[in-house]
Each structure stands twice: as structure tokens, then as C-alpha cells.
Amino acid sequence: MASLRLADPALIPIYEKVKEKQRLSAADGLTLFQSSDLLGVGYLANIVRERLHGRRAFYIYNQHINYSNVCVNGCKFCAFGREAGQEGAYEMTLQEICAKVEARLHEPITEIHIVGGCHPTLPFSFYVEMLRSIKALRPEVHLQAFTAVEVAHLAEQNGSSVADTLQTLRDAGLGSLPGGGAEVFSTRVRQALCPQKLGPDGWLSVAQTAHRLGLNTNATMLYGHMESLEERVDHMLQLRKAQDETGGFLSFIPLAFHPQNTALDHLQGPSAFDDLKTLAVSRLLLDNFPHIKAFWIMLGPKMAQLSLCFGVDDVDGTVMEERITHMAGAQTPQGLTRSQLEALIREAGCVPVERDTLYRQVTEAAA
Ligand code: V47
């Protein structure tokens, strides 16, 4: 029966492994990426997705706050970051950040997702105060804040270790770390695109330090620029190894590159085929990651919906205000309502489950 679903015979040995719950190799990852049998790859990914989550598909009622775009890294793929003093550079004051939270106090938000750049001068106390002030306004909300790159930068500002810095941030209200800043763990790509940025070892070390302290994190991969398929597979396998060691990753989020207003605006960004295949391959290679997330802000709601048939079990959340992707040309809305998210999940034949950051169920809609 399965062979009827697989047009590409190269996928049959991988199907056998998936059926037997065997770990896939780097070579398998490459075979999957190189196959043009997208429906076959999606079929395999969905075996894993259904084994883990059945027909349940998760979303969250969240709010994004991008507190500043001032950044010392100058990454070529980024349209959001600005040097201090450059036109378009901004940093929100604590009052402005609190006003963003206060404006949505009437909504049942369970998570606030906070990321910015690596600011050269904001003191560590600013970040601590930001978390404390938000928690004072919304004590029940989970603060998913600061990528591993920001945390390493804050540790430097703080003149302290990553572990002590994370502990101080946790005491101020930090709940978990988002998965940004991982980009692709390839020295070749990083030399070309983001030589100033925290490298792969540093990124993994911050994530694993967080895990050892009992803080969960997510992980991302920016794809569709100059990385090779081998580099994507290697990125995923490095994450899989790290997860074997410390086990704190909740979800993997492939981030579709948006070229507009970046130094790479001559590139196209990934195709629809590539989006779906990358999500499906990540579901298959990252056998120890509980969740694969399609960030609809980057993929568009339609592609995020389709991805639910290609291994994805999570479409992120309501969002309502996002700057990083929209500054890079995203045409997607700024937010989706709960009922829009639920409708797109249901239409894909899945059961919508509103989750909190730690994937505990908030509500399950009637099927
Ligand atoms: O770290 C920057 C990436 C990330 C571009 O953890 C770009 O649940 C596409 O990490 N095109 C920020 N991507 C977003 C992020 C994220 C989003 C949603 C959920 C979670 C999570 C994390 O966006 C950055 C960088 O890797 N990025 N520029 C661009 N032009």
C-alpha cells in the first residue's frame, strides 16, 4: 500500500525505517531533499506527525513585541536590524513596551514573544526591568523572550556567565527562549552572511545551558538563501544531537527567507515546493523534537494550512504585530484571530488545539 503512495523508489527504504521507528541518517535526509516526490515525502512525514499527535494541530494566543531593531551584527539576510543612529533605528522605552501589553490586557493572551537586536548600549538592567514590568501587568502570561544570540550578548553586557544571566532573567519572569538566531550552522554560510554573529557552538551552548537550568527553548533554521541541502541536513542533525543530550527543545521552526530590503534582494527566497519539503524533512530527521511549527507569518496562512499534511503540527499563533518578516517584504497579515486559525486547521482535516507555550492544552475545539 505504502509503495502506491511513493512515486520515487528511493523513498522506499526510508519508508521501511520510518515504519520501524528507526533513526534516519544524513544520507536519508539528502535523499528526501533531492526527491521530487513531494507527496511521497509528505506522506512519510505525516506518518510521524500522526504517530505523535494524531489529527491534533496546535496554535497559541500570543503577542509579539520587537523592542528594538538596533543591532551590532549587521547580518546580510536581515531587513530589520539597524546600526545605532541609522535612519529607521528604534528602541522602545519601558513605558512604550508596557503600553503595548496594556493595550491587549482584555485579550486571553497566554504568551508574549519578545525579541530584538543585539543593542550596543542598553544596559542589562533594561532587559530585567522589561520582564519584571510586563509580569507586573500580566502575571499569568508566559514570557518567551530573547534568542540565544541576544542571551549571549546580554551575558556580555552583564559581565556574567550565560547561566547566571539566564538565572537573573528567569527570576525577573523569563519563561523560555524562542528559537531565532540559529540561521544555518554552516561556517561557509555564516562567513558570507553573518560573520559577526554568535556562531553555532555558542548558539547551541546557550540553548543547552538553558535546558540544563530547566528552561525550554525552540530552534529555527533560516533556509532558501545560499545554503546547500547538505548544510540544511547538517543543521538539523546538530540540533538532533543537542536534543539527545539536553532534551529541552520544544519545537523546530524552519524560517523561509524573505529577501526584500536585505543585502540579498537579488535572491528569490524559497519556492512553495521547498517550503513543504523542508518542513516534511525536518519532521522526519528531528525524531526527538516534539513539534514542527509552520510560522504562518513567513509562509502565509495558505501554505501553513497545507503544511499540516506535510508533517507540521503547529501553526504558531495570533501574533497581531510583527516586524522582522514584514520589514523583509512579507505580504501576510499582521495577525490572525483565534477563529481564523481554527478554521484553517479544521479545513485541513485537523482538530485545533489552543496550547500554551509548553504545549499544555488551553482549549480543544469541538471537532
Ligand atoms: O532570528 C531574519 C530570522 C528570526 C529574516 O521560537 C528572517 O517560536 C526570514 O526566530 N527572512 C526571528 N527570516 C523569528 C524567529 C521566530 C519566529 C516565530 C516563532 C519563533 C519561535 C521564532 O527571523 C531571526 C532570523 O533567523 N530572519 N531576517 C528574513 N529576511
**d(CA 30, ligand 1 centre) in Å:** 24
Ligand 1 site, residue 183, Cβ cutoff 6 A: yes
Task: Report CA Rg, the chain.
Answer: 20
**d(CA 324, ligand 1 centre) in Å:** 7
pLDDT digits (tens, 9 = 90+) for 169-212: 999 999 999 999 999 999 999 999 999 999 999 999 999 999 99
pLDDT digits (tens, 9 = 90+) for 28-52: 999 999 999 999 999 999 999 999 9
Residue 238 predicted with pLDDT over 90: yes
Whole-angstrom Cα distance, residue 30 to residue 32?
5
The residues, ordered by sequence, that sit 6+ positions from 366 with a Cβ below 8 Å of its Cβ are: none
Residue 247 predicted with pLDDT over 90: yes
Across the chain, what does the average pLDDT equal?
96
Supply φ then ψ for residue 117, to 5 degrees: -95, -175
Q: Global pTM?
A: 0.97
Whole-angstrom Cα distance, residue 104 to residue 260?
30
Residue 111 predicted with pLDDT over 80: yes
**d(CA 106, ligand 1 centre) in Å:** 27
Whole-angstrom Cα distance, residue 252 to residue 284?
12
At residue 1 the predicted structure's pLDDT band, cuts being 50, 70 and 90, is: low
Ligand 1 site, residue 324, Cβ cutoff 6 A: yes
Closest alpha carbon to 286 in 102, 49, 127, 65: 49
Residue 101 predicted with pLDDT over 70: yes
Q: Which of 3-12, 97-106, 175-184, 234-243 has the lowest mean pLDDT?
A: 3-12
Domain covering 55-355 assigned CATH 3.20.20.70 in the classification: yes
So what's the pLDDT on residue 320? 86
Ligand 1 site, residue 282, Cβ cutoff 6 A: no
The residues, ordered by sequence, that sit 6+ positions from 292 with a Cβ below 8 Å of its Cβ are: 49, 251, 252, 253, 279, 282, 283, 286, 311, 312, 313, 314
Beta-carbon neighbour count of residue 334 at 10 Å? Answer: 14
**d(CA 188, ligand 1 centre) in Å:** 20
Ligand 1 site, residue 216, Cβ cutoff 6 A: no
In this structure, are residues 274 and 223 in contact, taking their beta carbons and an 8 Å threshold? yes
Residue 315 predicted with pLDDT over 90: yes
Residue 253 predicted with pLDDT over 50: yes
For the CA of 222, the closest atom of ligand 1 is 26
Ligand 1 site, residue 325, Cβ cutoff 6 A: yes
In this structure, are residues 11 and 37 in contact, taking their beta carbons and an 8 Å threshold? yes
> What stretches of 224-358 adopt beta strand conformation (E)?
249-256, 291-292, 314-317, 351-355
Residue keyed to cell 544520507:
27
Ligand 1 site, residue 220, Cβ cutoff 6 A: yes
Closest alpha carbon to 147 in 162, 133, 160, 135: 162
So what's the pLDDT on residue 367? 46
Residue 221 predicted with pLDDT over 50: yes
At residue 3 the predicted structure's pLDDT band, cuts being 50, 70 and 90, is: low
Q: Which of 85-94, 116-125, 241-250, 329-338 has the lowest mean pLDDT?
A: 329-338
**112 three-state secondary structure:** strand
Domain range annotation of the chain: 55-355
For the CA of 251, the closest atom of ligand 1 is 8
Pairwise pLDDT comparison (194 vs 364), residue with the higher score = 194
Reported as half-sphere exposure (CB side, CA atoms, 13 A), residue 260 has a value of 9
When pLDDT is averaged across residues 82-97 and rounded to a whole number, the result is: 97
Residue 269 predicted with pLDDT over 50: yes
In this structure, are residues 43 and 5 in contact, taking their beta carbons and an 8 Å threshold? yes
Angle at 245 between CA 198 and CA 361, to 5 degrees: 90
Residue keyed to cell 499544555:
360
Whole-angstrom Cα distance, residue 71 to residue 77?
13
Pairwise pLDDT comparison (323 vs 153), residue with the higher score = 153
At residue 91 the predicted structure's pLDDT band, cuts being 50, 70 and 90, is: very high
When pLDDT is averaged across residues 89-93 and rounded to a whole number, the result is: 97
Pairwise pLDDT comparison (119 vs 367), residue with the higher score = 119
So what's the pLDDT on residue 75? 98
pLDDT digits (tens, 9 = 90+) for 116-136: 999 999 999 999 999 999 999
